Chain A
Amino acid sequence: MRKNKHTLGYNINKTILYILLTLLAVICLLPFLMMIVNATRTSDEIVKGFTLIPGTALAKNWAVVFKYFNLFKGMWNSLVVAVPATILGAYFPAMAAYGLACYDFKGNKLIFWVILIFMMIPGTLSLIGFYQLCAAFHIINTYVPLILPAIAGSGTVFFLRQYIVSSLSPSLIEAARMDGASEIYMFHRIVIPIVFPAIATFSIMGFIGNWNSYMLPMIILNSPQKYTLPVQLVSLRASTDITQNYGAIYLCIAISMVPIILVFVTFSKYIISSVSAGAVKE
């Protein structure tokens, strides 16, 4: 019965809206589609005409790409950087967040305020000083400067602290303490399981951020066999062997996107909710 209430104009408008929304979705996906199609075509075909029907040169392009470029090496390097950075960037900030939320020690407030201030400072300010620091420690061209600073993830500390304050009941900690649990044990067995959803969300976003990072690895790494995927991908522009072959370039770019798209497909729920959560918190 309810359906009859709507007029024709209403239905037409609604259909138009759906068409527009879908059109926008197509615009979002079209560049990726063009990339995938072009990755399967030869240079000649790409220059001669535009089409969205896949070609037959995928195997040939693949051979060209991997003759000059071992993209899997770049992916491996990215993984070697991003996985430890993500783990360190979750564990130690969670620990600090717990310390700030549940222990009343001298300097607690001060640390909290300093974190808050540093969250608003853009990364640009630390870039030069950070490079000099790395030079002083002789860790240029190693992965250390890309991994260790994750421990200092002040944004993660801030948000996890808020999360712990709102979701962890102090009486739970107190009860465990009365039962004779050590403080370290409580952190591992009580706090981490309770705040795990928040930690997981931060870890996924942290992993993506580390994986996609370009400027810092470009500055820090200078031997090609250590390049992470984004840096390696950029270096292919300088290679004349491959820039002649447009299909192969598209294939390179497409391969570089596969890991992150897999992450997105697997964890889209967490990712979407973390973006939304950031907005509501403010």
Chain B
Amino acid sequence: MRPLHSLIVKIPCGEMDMEKTKPVKKKRSKLRAYNNWGYLFVAPFVIAFLIFSVYPVLRTLYLSFTDLKLMKLNGTINFAGLENYKRVFTDKFFGRALLNTIIIWGVNIVTQLGLAFLLMMVFSDVKYRMKGLPVYRLIYYLPNLIAATSIALLFSNLLDKNYGSINIGLTQLFRTFGGHYKLIDWLGTKWPARLSLSTIQTWMWFGNSFLMLMAGVQGVSRDYLEAASIDGAGRWTIFGKITLPLIKPIMMYVAITSLIGGLQLFDMPYLMIGDTSQTYKHTQTAMMYLYRFAFGAKTTQVAYASSVAYSLFLIILVVSVIQYRLFNRDTEKRRHRDRR
């Protein structure tokens, strides 16, 4: 930030020249007066931020060390130390929910990033010079904007075993080719349900990842690529030496933001596979587990739910750091080599 007083001093001001001893002090106090306006501008935000962001986070932290059961405010609260955390990390249902989340997210992130990466390669290829990017990216991005609730309801109808259009369509398709299609219960069996959820996530998010990667590639001027191409660099050399290093930080950014969102996955599985379904135990995510204890009608254990929230945060933090390290391993190695 450029300090404001440097500007003030530069401004020629006839009156000030007359008294040479005082101005410095005067200017400074005047400047301080201006700077105090900063408090006024920041105040509404800071107040709201303290109330709606800082307090809830600290309150949740505090609750996670207590034994509070119900959401009620007037209940007695006793300190419980690390009991809740012990329970989180030994509860096999939490482990199961976490595993479900990681499977659903993991399959999704691989396909989503892979697809976005392929698309980026196609659209940034120096030889083919594909056209129509503005139209394609609009279409690819569209599913990302629609509310997760609408998408979840749409797919739970389309994927229904008996009346869903996807099974009906597949049956018709097989029949026209003389085959027989055995109805798949997309949301009612373990793996189809998990993979359906991952696929829907990919469908919703690959356009977003593609846009981000493309933004990174478009940061390089086409002239660079053409110059390299004229100098005799093949398209794979150009890709490996120019494009790839450029988008690596963006890949990491996409992977980490997707992780933070993915481990909090809630709307889609919660709405598509209810707790009476047989597949519930294979698709219950960590966030659904938390929700059950925080707001479930008969299962409320607020303090425990709070510790689940913080445990989830710790896990996200650890995995992000690991991801960051993995992505930067090559760079670090190279730096190390260069130093030697």
Residues of A that sit less than 8 Å from B by CB: 10, 13-14, 17-18, 21, 24-25, 27-29, 31, 34-35, 38, 43, 46-50, 92-93, 95-96, 98-105, 108, 111, 114-115, 118, 121-133, 135-136, 148-149, 151-152, 154, 157, 165, 170-171, 174, 177-178, 183, 187, 208, 211-212, 214-215, 219, 229-231, 233-234, 237, 246, 249-250, 252-253, 256-257, 260-261, 263-264, 268, 271-272, 275-280, 282
Contacts and interface: CB of A to CB of B under 8 A. Distances in A.
A170 B147 contact: no
B158 A31 contact: yes
Contacts of B45: 92-93, 95-96, 151-152, 157
Contacts of A124: 264, 287, 290, 309, 312-313
B158 A34 contact: yes
B140 interface: yes
Interface in B138-188: 138-143, 145-150, 153-155, 157-158, 162-163, 165, 168-169, 172
B78 interface: no
Contact of A103 (B41, B53, B57, B310): B41
Contact of A132 (B4, B71, B119, B271): B71
Most chain A beta-carbon contacts within 10 A, residue among B4, B71, B155, B287: B4
Nearest to B3: A104
A211 to B, nearest CB: 7
Contacts of A271: 141, 145
Nearest to B142: A28
Nearest to A165: B1
Contact of B142 (A111, A131, A264): A264
B247 to A, nearest CB: 9
Contacts of A233: 149-150, 153
Given A50-B169, A256-B147, 11 more contacts: A35-B158, A46-B165, A47-B168, A96-B41, A114-B49, A115-B49, A132-B59, A234-B153, A246-B157, A279-B211, A282-B253
Contacts of B145: 208, 212, 260-261, 263-264, 271
A133 B52 CA distance: 8
B260 interface: yes
Bin chain B's interface residue count: 35 or more
Contact of B211 (A29, A98, A125, A276): A276
Contacts of A130: 52, 56
10 contacts: A95-B45, A99-B40, A125-B309, A128-B302, A129-B58, A157-B45, A174-B8, A183-B41, A211-B147, A279-B212
